[in-house]
Every structure is written in C-alpha cells, then in structure tokens.
Amino acid sequence: MDPETGKPPNKYTIAMGELIRQAREEVGLSQEELAKKIFRKRLSVSEMEKGKVEFSAWVLPYLSAALNKPIVYFFPKGIVENIREDSLSSLEQELLSNFRRIWDERIQRVAINQIKSIADLDVKALIIDSIDIVENQKQMENDTIEYLKKHNK
C-alpha cells in the first residue's frame, strides 16, 4: 500500500475485511453463500475479507442484512466516533441504561434482535391485513346467515 494514496490494502480495508470474515463465520456462511446474498462473486467476498478492495456504500446494507449486523459494525474502531450520551433522547438513554444491565452477551444479542424486529415491523401493513381479515370474517358470517335463512324456510 502506498501510504500517500491510502489505496488498498490499508489498515482500514484490512480491518473491515476482518470484521466481515468474523461476521460471516459467526452466522455460518461460506464465502459463496455470502456472495449470493450480497449479489457479488465469491472472489469479491474473498478480496473484501483480505482488505484488498474498497467497496461502495451500496454493499453495506446487503452485508448488514446477510450477516445480521448493524451497518456501523463494518467500520473499524476509530473510523466511527462514539455517540455521546448527552446527545441521546431520554428514551434512548433509558434503553441504553437497561441494555447495559444485561450481563450476558447472548442475551444482549437477543435484545438487539428483538429491537430490530420491532423497528422493522410494518404497522400500517399489519393494520391493513387485520382490517381485511375482519372484513372477510364479516362476509363469511353474512353468507352463513343468508344460507341459514334460505334453508330454514
């Protein structure tokens, strides 16, 4: 690497590659399987993991989804500044305070996954689906009542 240009591999691309490899192994994916999930070739994943390439920001959401990690996970320490606690809302502070009370990392991971699920919940679609179900049930009840009226004469 040329320290003047910062071209890969450099300390950041190598660190990012290591984070990608660790996350991939953590979820039990091969390079080939990860490549399919992020719409790349296996060689591209190998090059990323070795820190030989810089990839576009468009790859990060795919990595995040495929490896079940927040996007910020893929940035090595020192690149992303820590969030100052005084910049958090009272709800965020409460969430963080309670999260820190969880002593087991596996349980912390469960908590994170639950929050992700809640954040990804499409409430509007859920309500619309519920309305459709209720309307279908009403229609079935009306059809049943009409059937009974016709056959009880």
* Per-residue model confidence as pLDDT tens digits over 75-86: 877 665 555 666
Task: Determine the Cα–Cα distance for residues 143 and 129; give it in Å rounded to an integer.
Answer: 21
Count the Cβ atoms, other than its own, within 10 Å of residue 78. Answer: 9
What is the per-residue pLDDT for 121? 78
Q: Are residues 95 and 140 in the same domain?
A: no
Question: Quick check: 55 and 20 in contact, CB under 8 A?
Answer: no
Q: Are residues 34 and 90 in the same domain?
A: no
Q: Are residues 25 and 87 in the same domain?
A: no
Q: Domain count for the chain, please give it.
A: 3
Scanning the chain, the segments in alpha helix (DSSP H) are 11-27, 31-37, 42-49, 59-67, 90-100, 105-120, 123-151
Which residue, 7, 52, 1, 56, is CA-closest to 21?
52
Domain extent for 148: 122-153
Q: Are residues 25 and 76 in the same domain?
A: yes
Residues whose CB falls within 8 Å of the CB of residue 2, separated by 6 or more in sequence, listed in order:
none
pLDDT in tens, 106-153: 898 899 888 888 888 777 877 888 888 888 888 999 888 888 888 876
The residue among 127 and 38 whose pLDDT is bigger is 38
Q: Are residues 27 and 64 in the same domain?
A: yes
What is the per-residue pLDDT for 126? 77
